[in-house]
Amino acid sequence: MNTLTSAPTLQVNEEGYLKNYQDWNRDWATEIAHQYNISLTPKHWDVLNWLRAKQAEGTALSVRKVGNSGIVDIKEFYALFPGGPLKISSRIAGIPKPASCI
């Protein structure tokens, strides 16, 4: 994570996902988003906040769930975070990487 310059350096795991949910802040998120060439718009923030809220509730997350969140549909989710929307948005939102049990 030596690309982190302006943002405070936070503890991340070997794949760059934030270790402590509470450490997260907007500057850090903005910086991580830049690594994916994403400039965060209000819509992005709505998605990120929703993901964080769900994570705090202890709910398992999936792309379809984001698509049913009322914030974006799945196509829009892809447009906001191209490539792997859940894996990228989770990293920016400071929540664990979406994973199976193995």
Is 58 catalytic? The answer is no
| Distance from C-alpha of 10 to C-alpha of 23, rounded to nearest angstrom | 7
Q: Is 35 in the site for another protein (CB under 8 A)?
A: no
Q: Which stretch binds another protein (CB under 8 A): 4-12, 19-27, 31-39, 53-61?
A: 53-61
One residue of 6, 23, 70, 80 binding another protein per CB under 8 A: 70
Which of these, 101, 24, 15, lies nearest to 55 by C-alpha position? 24
The catalytic residue among 60, 99, 101, 102 is 101
For 81, phi and psi rounded to 5 degrees?
Answer: -130, 75
The 10 Å Cβ neighbour count of residue 96 is 16
Phi and psi of 92, rounded to 5°? -65, -35
52 binds another protein (CB under 8 A): no
Q: How far is the CB of 71 from another protein (least distance, A)?
A: 11
Task: Reduce the DSSP state of residue 98 to 3 states and report it.
Answer: coil
Which residues sit at the interface with another protein, rule CB under 8 A?
14, 57-60, 62-66, 68-70, 74-75, 78, 82-84, 86-87, 97-102
Catalytic positions? 101
